[in-house]
């Protein structure tokens, strides 16, 4: 297999399992996706859907007992899932960066903001200490931190949550990566700070041409900043397509349930819509479509056969009974 010339990232038939004494547990099944330079792809779904695990596999952060059972990951024209650990570390530092949910766990508490930025910059770029410091200060200013000359000498605990997340974004962008994997980057922040961080990610993506994989459970965030969305359920992508199409006319019953659960500003509701039931455990995946026990449209075929994702009315869909009416 060769990667498409226009694609920055291509994941082909990826399956991930966890080794267990009672039998291996499949967490990701035959997942395929592509990303183009400069686009923001939203990965959305409930907790346990496999969003973060997919991001970890792409970044080379998958840890034992998890392992890639089958599939290929191609990045910038080369296959990366077969690289050794040192090659993956260098790739992860320079070409692929990660932003995690809690900035306190991403930053070293005993090093200043400047020490962490300068060390990262000098590891991957041939710059002197003074040049790296100047780049670090410029990055802090670019991500919206006031008085960067003073902040660069402060420790993470001296900064607010929003400022720490901005520092993490600066760290992720300090060596001009081609892909940023942002795993719930705004969940721990106040609503006003969330909006600022999302606006920052979108602006930096436009200015630097960086592709962003935004992992979230919030369909509202996806609608605000993403160009495409992939909806995951129980380790599989069940619907993917342009955000405008998926939001306006979701066709998979699970996608419709997620969007219907968002409070509307246009109409008054006594109760919010909810999806009955819960995500199945890895050791209790149902036969056929994993969503069938919770789906109001499930038929006998749904309980017996696994639908294959295929093109359908402008999106890619894995469903035997698509719902084609707009919400």
Q: What is the tens place of the pLDDT at every residue in 205-260?
A: 888 889 999 999 888 889 889 999 999 999 999 999 999 999 999 999 999 999 98
Integer Cα distance of 142 and 8 in angstroms: 25
* 1 has a pLDDT exceeding 70: no
3-state DSSP call for residue 13? Answer: strand
User: Which CATH code for domain 37-59+88-317?
Assistant: 3.40.50.300
* 158 has a pLDDT exceeding 50: yes
Instruction: Evaluate if pTM is beyond 0.85.
Output: yes
Q: What is the mean pLDDT of residues 313-317?
A: 94
Q: What is the tens place of the pLDDT at every residue in 48-101?
A: 999 999 999 999 999 889 999 999 999 999 999 999 999 998 898 789 999 987
Verify cis geometry, omega within 30 degrees of 0, for the bond prior to 303: no
Enumerate residues 6+ apart whose C-beta is below 8 A from 232.
Answer: 43, 44, 45, 49, 50, 51, 54, 238
Q: What is the DSSP string of 127-165?
A: --HHHHHHHHHHHHHHTT-SSHHHHTTS-GGGS-HHHHH
For the chain, the distance separating the N- and C-terminal CA atoms, rounded to the nearest angstrom, is 39
**What pLDDT shows up at residue 5?**
54
Q: What residue ranges do the domains of the chain occupy?
A: 37-59+88-317
């Amino acid at each position: 297999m060769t990667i498409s010339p226009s694609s920055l990232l291509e994941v082909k038939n990826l399956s991930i399992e966890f080794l267990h004494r009672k039998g291996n547990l499949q967490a990701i099944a035959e997942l395929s996706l592509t990303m183009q330079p400069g686009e923001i792809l939203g990965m959305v779904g409930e907790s346990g859907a496999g969003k973060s695990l997919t991001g970890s596999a792409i970044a080379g952060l998958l840890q034992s007992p998890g392992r890639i059972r089958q599939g290929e990951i191609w990045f910038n024209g080369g296959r990366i899932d077969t690289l050794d650990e040192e090659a993956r570390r260098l790739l992860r530092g320079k070409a692929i960066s990660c932003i995690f949910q809690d900035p306190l766990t991403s930053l070293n508490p005993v090093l200043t903001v400047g020490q962490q930025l300068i060390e990262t910059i000098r590891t991957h770029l041939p710059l002197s200490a003074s040049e790296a410091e100047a780049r670090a200060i410029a990055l802090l200013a670019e991500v919206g931190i006031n008085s960067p000359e003073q902040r660069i000498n402060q420790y993470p605990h001296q900064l607010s949550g929003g400022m720490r997340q901005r520092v993490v974004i600066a760290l992720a962008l300090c060596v001009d990566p081609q892909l940023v994997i942002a795993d719930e980057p705004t969940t721990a922040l106040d609503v006003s700070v969330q909006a600022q961080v999302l606006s920052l990610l979108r602006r930096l993506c436009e200015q630097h041409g960086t592709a962003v994989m935004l992992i979230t459970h919030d369909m509202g965030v996806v609608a605000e900043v993403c160009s495409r969305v992939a909806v995951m359920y129980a380790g599989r992508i069940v619907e993917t397509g342009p955000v405008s199409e998926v939001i306006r006319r979701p066709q998979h019953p699970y996608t419709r349930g997620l969007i219907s659960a968002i409070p509307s500003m246009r109409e008054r509701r006594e109760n919010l819509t909810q999806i009955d039931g819960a995500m199945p455990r890895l050791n209790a995946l149902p036969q056929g479509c994993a969503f069938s026990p919770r789906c109001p449209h499930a038929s006998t075929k749904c309980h017996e056969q696994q639908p294959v994702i295929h093109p359908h009315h402008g999106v890619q869909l894995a469903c035997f009974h698509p719902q084609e009416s707009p919400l």
